[in-house]
Amino acid sequence: MIAIVDYGLGNLFSLKSSLDFIGLDTIITNDKSEIKKAKSIILPGVGAFRDAIGKLKEKELDNVIIDEVKNGKILLGICFGMQLLFEKSYEYGEYSGLGLIKGDISPIKNDLQNKNLKVPHMGWNNLKFKENDEILKYIKEDEYVYYVHSYYAKNCEKSILAYSDYEVSIPGIVKNENVYGIQFHPEKSGETGLNILKAFGELI
């Protein structure tokens, strides 16, 4: 069973439908005991960093997630959920994240020289591989995935498995031991996204 953490932000059902489609057993929950029983955890989400980390703390899910990771459970953060994995975010202020991956979350627009590039970074972009990993085994370099985001991970070079170019290098998939993060939406990325989720399922 994979626990998809529901902390009150984001539409989780398209993600669950994709996971169900490839045969993974999932449950959407904010129940701490269910999360502890699960074989793996997925942290999804959309919205503002301050609100999201606040919701996790309010429901006391932050410490549960951190403890389960320390116990060796595989965690996958998707899109905004990936950003929550980092140490700090500079989205409308400065906020501490879960601290499971070194680095911080910063506005894309601050680092773009070409002001004609639109933010949010929205639409299809190709993935470049930086490191080999089992989560990439069913896809090839330069396959396209679907992004929607205005902030991106920085100062995390050692954790990057795959990235996309948008003048700056956008970390697309990151990893620190048993913690994975995916910035794009695999559930909206067609067969490529499904193949990444399939590979993730085989890690559990």
The catalytically annotated residue of 79, 121, 149, 156 is: 79
**Does 121 qualify as catalytic in the annotation?**
no
Output the furthest CA–CA distance in the chain (Å, rounded): 48
Q: What residue type is 54 in one-letter code?
A: G
CA dist., res. 190 & res. 88, Å (int): 31
CA dist., res. 162 & res. 159, Å (int): 9
**Does 187 qualify as catalytic in the annotation?**
yes
Output DSSP code: residue 130: S
The catalytically annotated residue of 87, 143, 187, 191 is: 187
First-residue to last-residue Cα distance in the chain: 10
CA dist., res. 95 & res. 190, Å (int): 33
**Does 185 qualify as catalytic in the annotation?**
yes
Q: What residue type is 158 in one-letter code?
A: K
Residue 125: alpha-carbon gap to chain centroid: 16
Report yes or no: 65 and 44 within 8 Å, Cβ to Cβ: no
For residue 93 the two structure tokens come to 């202020």
Report yes or no: 161 and 127 within 8 Å, Cβ to Cβ: no
- Positions annotated as catalytic residues are 79, 185, 187
